[in-house]
């Protein structure tokens, strides 16, 4: 058995056709939820559908932006009359029951006379977890959770949100581009980029959905990156991701692009507990936040769990790790890579260039997946730590 809705044995069980409708409608809520990316960050992306038993969709909604109406409320506020008695409200996340920046969704669901609610995954936020469904059920509403396979996809859709609540740290996605022989540099002064324009545009989409983009000091010294969302997505990204640099001994240059723009988009530099106080003062004067990792001493890459917990405390659910081979390897060794995107360009580079061996566990994890074309590159995506495996996740 795959864990999905059980075989229909008793008189009270839901007929297969109805379950298929539930699955299709929940799939639709997951699609709608994606429209909220990147605006909803750091809130979860959520979609909602109101449908009749014959599959007719009456209304849809999604959570557009933090502080704006939740998906269910956005949908129900658009409906002038009472909801038809036999309609079902489908939501990709359990309806909330708490007062946050917006009022509880349970209130409007009850007010509008909804009789059945089906949701895809639970909400890990302790302010509301489990309370909404109980409140709706107490009001006489039929409340069901969807099939496990949809639930797992819904959890993965908000992996960072669930990660922060259930593991106390952000979800870490490693991204890198390499040549067919695993090199991270072309060795060709004429060719700056390894991956093509389509891949680089996709990386801006990944950045926009992340609360922070991180790299190591080696990348800053070699490439002087900005790590911001640029291009067409920039206007749709209400809050740029923070930039995080793992820089044990505070070598980051004061004239680097990151430091120069630290007052526009936050820069957090993670260093060892004994890094130079003078360097810290100079960086602080430019608006950079220097964070001393308590467990990080000489020779350590300072990537320990405490620095990730610090990012979670700052409302960062997802970290996109755009690091070179050394830091990527350290994260992998520490079992801190949750998912990855690898872009492989159809070129070779001299073996003397830095890179990862093709049998490195990260590269192997990527190459085990089937490739998707991304312009001339091949894109590999692997999930190493699915959100439904987090302790306490509803889909485990
Ligand atoms: C829902 N539907 O569409 C979303 C939910 O500050 P607030 O009021 O926006 O509340 C944010 C919390 O509400 C968030 O942490 C999560 O627990 C839940 N998000 N819930 O019923 C939605 N976005
Ligand atoms: Zn809500």
- CA 320 to CA 336: how far, in whole Å? 12
pLDDT for the residue numbered 19: 83
CA of residue 63 to ligand 2 center, whole Å: 9
> Ligand 1 in contact with 62 (CB < 6 A)?
no
H-helix segments, the chain: 16-34, 71-77, 105-111, 131-138, 148-157, 159-167, 197-208, 217-223, 257-260, 277-285, 305-313, 325-333, 361-367
∠ CA 269-270-273 to the nearest 5 degrees?
130
Question: In which residue ranges of the chain is pLDDT below 50?
Answer: 1-10
Report the atom number in ligand 1 closest to the C-alpha of 129. Answer: 17
> Ligand 1 in contact with 102 (CB < 6 A)?
yes
> Ligand 1 in contact with 72 (CB < 6 A)?
yes
pLDDT for the residue numbered 302: 87
CA of residue 212 to ligand 1 center, whole Å: 21
pLDDT for the residue numbered 3: 41
* Most ligand 1 atoms within 8 A of CB, residue of 100, 118, 130, 132 to mutate: 100
pLDDT for the residue numbered 295: 85
* Most ligand 1 atoms within 8 A of CB, residue of 66, 70, 77 to mutate: 70
Report the atom number in ligand 1 closest to the C-alpha of 124. Answer: 17
pLDDT for the residue numbered 7: 47
CA of residue 113 to ligand 2 center, whole Å: 17
Report the atom number in ligand 1 closest to the C-alpha of 71. Answer: 3
Q: How far is CA 219 from CA 224, 247, 260, 297, 340, in A?
A: 7, 10, 16, 21, 18
Report the atom number in ligand 1 closest to the C-alpha of 125. Answer: 17
- CA 336 to CA 281: how far, in whole Å? 30
| Predicted TM-score of the model (pTM) | 0.93
Contact in structure between 79 and 110 (CB atoms under 8 Å): no
> Ligand 1 in contact with 43 (CB < 6 A)?
yes
Q: How many CB atoms lie within 10 A of CB 124?
A: 24
pLDDT in tens, 227-272: 999 988 899 898 999 999 999 999 999 999 999 999 999 999 999 9
CA of residue 100 to ligand 1 center, whole Å: 7
> Ligand 1 in contact with 209 (CB < 6 A)?
no
- Name the residue with the closest Cα to ligand 1, atom 17: 125
- CA 85 to CA 156: how far, in whole Å? 32
CA of residue 5 to ligand 2 center, whole Å: 26
By C-alpha distance, which of 277, 276, 271, 252 is closest to 262?
A: 252
> Ligand 1 in contact with 105 (CB < 6 A)?
yes
């Amino acid at each position: 058995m795959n864990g999905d809705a059980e075989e229909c044995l008793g008189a009270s069980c839901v007929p297969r056709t109805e379950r298929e409708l539930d699955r299709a409608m929940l799939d639709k809520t997951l699609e709608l939820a994606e429209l909220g990316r990147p605006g909803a960050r750091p809130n979860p992306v959520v979609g909602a559908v109101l449908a009749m038993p014959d599959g007719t969709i009456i209304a849809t909604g999604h959570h557009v932006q933090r502080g704006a109406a939740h998906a269910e409320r956005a949908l129900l506020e658009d409906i002038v009359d009472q909801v038809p008695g036999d309609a079902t409200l489908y939501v990709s996340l359990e309806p909330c029951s708490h007062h946050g920046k917006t009022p509880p969704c349970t209130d409007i669901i009850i007010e509008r006379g909804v009789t059945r609610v089906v949701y895809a995954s639970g909400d890990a936020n302790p302010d509301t977890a489990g309370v909404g469904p109980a409140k709706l059920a107490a009001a006489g509403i039929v409340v069901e959770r969807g099939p496990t396979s949809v639930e797992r996809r819904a959890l993965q859709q908000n992996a960072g949100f669930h990660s922060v609540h259930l593991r106390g740290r952000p979800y870490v996605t490693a991204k890198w581009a390499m040549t067919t022989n695993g090199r991270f540099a072309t060795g060709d002064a004429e060719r700056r980029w390894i991956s093509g324009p389509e891949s680089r545009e996709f990386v801006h989409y990944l950045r926009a959905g992340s609360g922070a983009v991180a790299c190591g000091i080696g990348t800053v010294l070699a490439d002087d990156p900005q790590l911001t969302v640029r291009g067409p997505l920039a206007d749709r990204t209400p809050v740029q991701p923070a930039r995080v640099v793992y820089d044990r001994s505070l070598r980051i240059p004061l004239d680097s692009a990151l430091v120069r723009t630290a007052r526009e988009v936050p820069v957090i530099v993670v260093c060892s507990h004994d890094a130079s106080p003078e360097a810290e003062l100079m960086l602080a004067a430019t608006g950079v936040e220097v964070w001393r990792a308590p467990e990080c001493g000489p020779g350590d890459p300072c990537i320990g769990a405490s620095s990730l917990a610090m990012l979670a405390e700052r409302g960062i659910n997802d970290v996109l790790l755009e690091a070179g081979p050394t830091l990527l390897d350290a994260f992998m060794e520490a079992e801190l890579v949750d998912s990855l995107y690898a872009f492989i360009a159809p070129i070779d580079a001299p073996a003397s260039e830095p890179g990862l061996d093709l049998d490195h566990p990260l590269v192997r994890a990527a190459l085990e997946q089937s490739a998707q074309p991304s312009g001339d590159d091949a894109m590999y995506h692997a999930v190493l730590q699915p959100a439904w495996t987090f302790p306490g996740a509803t889909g485990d």
